[in-house]
A and B are shown apart, each in its own frame.
Chain A
Amino acid sequence: MASRRRTLLKVIILGDSGVGKTSLMNQYVNKKFSNQYKATIGADFLTKEVQFEDRLFTLQIWDTAGQERFQSLGVAFYRGADCCVLVYDVNSMKSFDNLNNWREEFLIQASPSDPDNFPFVLLGNKVDVDGGNSRVVSEKKAKAWCASKGNIPYFETSAKDGTNVEDAFQCIVKNALKNEPEEELYVPDTVDVVGGNRAQRSSGCC
């Protein structure tokens, strides 16, 4: 259990249907974009080995169905998440307005031990569309929202051409590790000393 916590980072991608969750995941993991993804039914995940500050992690990225109606399934999928990535489409105000719902629903269903400090990262996707002319959510507005939620890191991405995707996930990994000390507390007493060290080192990363 303890060793698993140290190497596996679980990240959940949430956001409205069609904002590009699956595409972002595939761009990051497989460096590919396809116009032919299907709507995600249920949930799926991809894994990627990542190195962060000389440590090797398996990043497990969960992609879930975007329709609100399937939110109740989250209980099973969100458990043990280290970071939640919220995605909206910069060309859709509705997808931006729904971010509050996604964030709150996540906190209810995943019920992290410290909800106030649980790491989120926000991605405004599809910045490539129509050369930015169809954009309806400004960067300023998105950043204001992030500030109001405890300074959530924000990236503007294009899953299609790869813009900022790598950087965004670097940040996601970093933030996922913020949560790590919490989890380490569950390590049995016998390795408590190790757990203590780990906690210090991790907080150094953030």
Chain B
Amino acid sequence: MRGGDAAAAAEEGSPRSPDLHDLSDDSDYAAAAAATASDHTAMRTDSADTGSDETTRIDVVYEKERVTIHPTQYGSGRISGKLRLFLQQGSLFLSWEPNEGDGSLSTSSVAVEIDKYRNLYTIKALPLSDVRFIRRHTPTFGLDYIIIVLSSGLAFPPFYFYNGGIRELFATLKQHVFIIRSDDDPNVFLVNDFQDPLQKSLSSLELPGVASVANAMSRQNSLSFTGSVDETRHADDGRHGAASSMSQYSSKQKPKSNDPGRDLSIQVLEKFSLVTKFARDTTSSLFRDNIGAHAYGRQQHGYALDNQASDKQKNQYVTPEKDYVPSAPVESDPIPLVWGKQRDRPLSVEEWTAFLDPEGRVMDSKALRKKVFYGGIDHVLRKEVWKFLLGYHEYDSTYAEREYLTAMKRAEYEAIKSQWKSISATQAKRFTKFRERKGLIDKDVVRTDRSVPYYEGDENRNVVVLRDILLTYSFYNFDLGYCQGMSDFLAPILYIMEDESESFWCFASLMERLGANFNRDQNGMHAQLLALSKLVELLDPPLHNYFRQNDCLNYFFCFRWVLIQFKREFSFEQIMLLWEVLWTHYLSEHFHLYLCVAILKRYRQRIIGEQMDFDTLLKFINELSGQINLDRAIQDAEALCTIAGENGASCIPPGTPPSMPIETDGGLYVQQDEVL
């Protein structure tokens, strides 16, 4: 620990005690006063791009070094930064900026990887009025940290205080905003937004995009769309009912542009043009591939990204057969995406056999994954191939090794299963967690895919097997336990495997990657929704802006898509195809996020045209279930993924599911509160 920080000194000077957190404690004020005395330097800064006015004055009232985030669980994967509270025009803002070239990082490849994400987490100026609450965690072992949750529901990753200073933070907050401790949880501090719509709206208008977690990327592009800079000025002048007038204002503005669809497409093209030569080359090669593959059949339109992509005048739709054929009425987005490859036939038995050497090893796993990515798997082969895709079987294992493994794993499964099988009725009476967990699973298995013949009807034996596997899994991974959505994942797996133990291990392998979706703190989900928001910002700035203006940046309307990987959006047959495509991790481990972007882009015209607010959008997205053209969505997602390239990958923080979680000293799935 380095000294020299007044706040840190103040913290060290006072002994830790359980009631340290009490905000009414006068010592808090003393500590804060001490911190403020040295730190409170009214400074003029150009770091905040909030005010064009040079005289905009920023008073820093709290500043703490070594406030660190842990995007991964690697020790070296930490980003240290500076947390600040500052006053500007009477409002309190919070900022966090990563240190430049942090010396504390090791030079490992992980650290280099992490470096790319440095700016992803930057908070430039978050108005405290946008904060719903701050939860403080003071674990017995390890560093204290806080989690900031916004009114929008978005949560920032935890901030770990290496130099202490949480107490001063709250004390300072208390001096400037109304903050109360939740009756329910003494570690939750509710931040009042003054109930002042004017103040709130002004602060959000002055700082477009502040609520998005990181806006370092393509900020300029965001601002250039539909004159949001003008809007800011407009609101600044008005200073009255600004929040409600903002959306009205922009809705008045938008239809005025002569051809919104065209304008938007140009925006998209411009954006794409920024994605370097690599993208152009790839795209034109995709374009050629398509011609070679007689791709005109279904997709009648596309556009080329040529070297003049940034030149609006020269950009035109390329309509290979002259006539522009609009897509189905429900999918009314006239902006065609760059083509993805035409979908291929499923992997056939002959092809599969050709992939195997005489002892049963998959000789070229990448080629296999590619084949599956483009065409899926013949149904009869799924039972065999899924085990590889899910990571239960190694590609380089032999027939004999797999047979042995299967036998071993069967015994292991039975051993785990016997743990709960042996719980007697009297024991269960005294084992509430078990009863509750079992009750939850019982409730869910009887409402999972019951319309599929395999699970149909009363007293269906397969439903019981579903239950047994899930309950066994909740013992195998007691920390994670059972969570709604798991039965959705398991049902197709059991249907394919038709074997309890094999299904269990396939499911367990899948949960190695997707278990974080079900963590109690919802970190896995927040990470994915954040990455999705970054991807939309990259691949469709106008849509991103629309979501921002309409308070939709939390992307909760995609929650179901992401949590269970589109299970509820497609038929049982289709979902097996989609999942095997996703499980190849061929173009990206996060292909499902590109799929989200692709589907949103398909419907962007309706979303923007009908001015959907959050509620309407959620309803709209939910009702797309069963309506989405899967092949086309996969093709679109493929094109987007290729175009986004490295820029896309850097939108997705390391460790984001379904990336493999990184091993830690403790458990992977430790739940902070309840076990259930």
When the two chains form their complex, are residues A104 and B563 in contact, meaning their CB atoms are under 8 A apart? Answer: no
When the two chains form their complex, are residues A36 and B522 in contact, meaning their CB atoms are under 8 A apart? Answer: no
Bound together, the chains give a CA A113 to CA B196 distance in angstroms of 12
> Is the CB of A94 closer than 8 A to any CB of chain B?
yes
Contact partners of B487 in chain A: CB under 8 A: 39
Contact partners of B520 in chain A: CB under 8 A: 69
B484 is contacted by which of A67, A108, A188 (Cβ under 8 Å)? A67
Residue of A nearest to B244 (CB): A1
When the two chains form their complex, are residues B188 and A108 in contact, meaning their CB atoms are under 8 A apart? Answer: yes
Which among B38-46, B612-620, B633-641 touches the partner chain? B612-620
Q: 1/0 per position for B182-203, CB-CB distance to A under 8 A?
A: 1110001010000101000000
Q: 1/0 per position for A70-84, CB-CB distance to B under 8 A?
A: 101101110100000
When the two chains form their complex, are residues B152 and A76 in contact, meaning their CB atoms are under 8 A apart? Answer: yes
A113 is contacted by which of B195, B241, B488 (Cβ under 8 Å)? B195
CB distance from A5 to the nearest CB of B (A): 11
Query: Which B99-129 residues have a C-beta within 8 angstroms of A?
Result: none
Which range contains the number of B residues in contact with the other chain? 35 or more
Contact partners of A42 in chain B: CB under 8 A: 556, 559-560, 563
When the two chains form their complex, are residues A41 and B485 in contact, meaning their CB atoms are under 8 A apart? Answer: yes
Q: 1/0 per position for B428-464, CB-CB distance to A under 8 A?
A: 0000000010011001100110110000000000000
Bound together, the chains give a CA A109 to CA B185 distance in angstroms of 13
When the two chains form their complex, are residues B676 and A68 in contact, meaning their CB atoms are under 8 A apart? Answer: yes
Tell whether A75 pairs with B568 under 8 Å between CB atoms, given A38-B447, A41-B485, A67-B483: no
Bound together, the chains give a CA A76 to CA B522 distance in angstroms of 14
> Is the CB of A17 closer than 8 A to any CB of chain B?
yes
Residue of B nearest to A80 (CB): B615
When the two chains form their complex, are residues B436 and A94 in contact, meaning their CB atoms are under 8 A apart? Answer: yes
CB distance from A4 to the nearest CB of B (A): 10
Residue of A nearest to B183 (CB): A104
> Is the CB of A173 closer than 8 A to any CB of chain B?
no
Tell whether A39 pairs with B676 under 8 Å between CB atoms, given A17-B443, A18-B443, A104-B183: no
Bound together, the chains give a CA A1 to CA B554 distance in angstroms of 22
Question: Of A1, A68, A72, which is in contact with the most chain B CB atoms at under 10 Å from its CB?
Answer: A72
Which range contains the number of A residues in contact with the other chain? 35 or more
Contact partners of B559 in chain A: CB under 8 A: 41-43, 73
Tell whether A108 pairs with B182 under 8 Å between CB atoms, given A38-B447, A44-B618, A44-B622: yes
> Is the CB of A163 closer than 8 A to any CB of chain B?
no
When the two chains form their complex, are residues A38 and B152 in contact, meaning their CB atoms are under 8 A apart? Answer: no
Residue of B nearest to A104 (CB): B184
Bound together, the chains give a CA A24 to CA B257 distance in angstroms of 46
Bound together, the chains give a CA A206 to CA B559 distance in angstroms of 37
Bound together, the chains give a CA A113 to CA B188 distance in angstroms of 19
Bound together, the chains give a CA A113 to CA B194 distance in angstroms of 11
CB distance from B554 to the nearest CB of A (A): 6
Q: 1/0 per position for B271-308, CB-CB distance to A under 8 A?
A: 00000000000000000000000000000000000000
When the two chains form their complex, are residues B153 and A73 in contact, meaning their CB atoms are under 8 A apart? Answer: yes
Bound together, the chains give a CA A68 to CA B483 distance in angstroms of 9
When the two chains form their complex, are residues B443 and A77 in contact, meaning their CB atoms are under 8 A apart? Answer: no
Query: Which A31-78 residues have a C-beta within 8 angstroms of B?
Result: 35-39, 41-45, 60, 65-70, 72-73, 75-77
User: 10 A-B Cβ contacts within 8 A?
Assistant: A38-B568, A43-B618, A44-B619, A67-B440, A72-B522, A75-B151, A108-B182, A108-B188, A113-B195, A188-B241
A39-B443, A67-B484, A188-B241 are known contacts; what are 17 more A-B pairs with Cβ within 8 Å? A17-B443, A36-B447, A38-B448, A41-B559, A42-B556, A65-B484, A68-B674, A69-B483, A69-B520, A70-B484, A73-B153, A73-B522, A75-B132, A75-B153, A76-B614, A79-B151, A186-B197
Q: Which 10 A-B pairs have the closest CB atoms?
A: A76-B153, A18-B443, A42-B559, A75-B153, A42-B560, A41-B560, A76-B556, A67-B484, A39-B484, A104-B184
Binding site for A on B (CB under 8 A): 132-133, 149, 151-153, 155, 182-184, 188, 190, 195, 197, 240-241, 244, 436, 439-440, 443-444, 447-448, 450-451, 483-485, 487-488, 518, 520-522, 554, 556, 559-560, 563-564, 568, 614-615, 618-619, 622, 674, 676
Binding site for B on A (CB under 8 A): 1, 17-18, 35-39, 41-45, 60, 65-70, 72-73, 75-77, 79, 94, 104-105, 108-109, 111, 113, 186, 188
